[in-house]
Structure 1
Amino acid sequence: MTAPRKNFLAYFARHVGKICTRRMILENVWGASYSKELQYLKVYAYRIRRKLHDEDGHFLENDPSVGYRLVVADN
């Protein structure tokens, strides 16, 4: 199995600009049996944001009622 962190970011790269529900992310990255493990998302989002120097969530946005979205900066 590939590292979940890589799968986590790759999932967002395939869905750039779209809100991805927590359930969609969990099922596609970790598998259907993890669909209710919300803590996984919080931890991985935190780690990815730290690595990207995005602690304020400008690149990986959080919609508390739905999920997350990867945002591409306009150049």
Structure 2
Amino acid sequence: MVGPLTHKIRNLEGQRDQYMQEARKDIQSRRAMHNSQLQSYEQDIKPLKRKARMESIQQNLASIGARVGKMGPM
């Protein structure tokens, strides 16, 4: 014979298990989305940032060279 408290405990445990299962699915889907965003960043955005950084360095070096050239021989 099952008492009312035992029945209530089992019911709550079932709800907890269902909630935990849904939470795991949510975490897995968020992790997959995050991984795909990271992969996209690595493939698309990172090379563009590197290219922009290199262009900026080249422009800075060119402007430094131009200023040094205007100063004339030392």
Q: What TM bracket, shorter-length normalisation?
A: under 0.3
With normalisation by structure 1, the TM-score equals: 0.23
Q: Which has the higher contact order (CA 8 A, sep 6+)?
A: 1
Structure with a larger share of its residues in helix: 2
* Larger Rg, first or second structure (1 or 2): 2
Where is the strand percentage greater, Structure 1 or Structure 2?
1
TM-score where L is the length of structure 2:
0.24
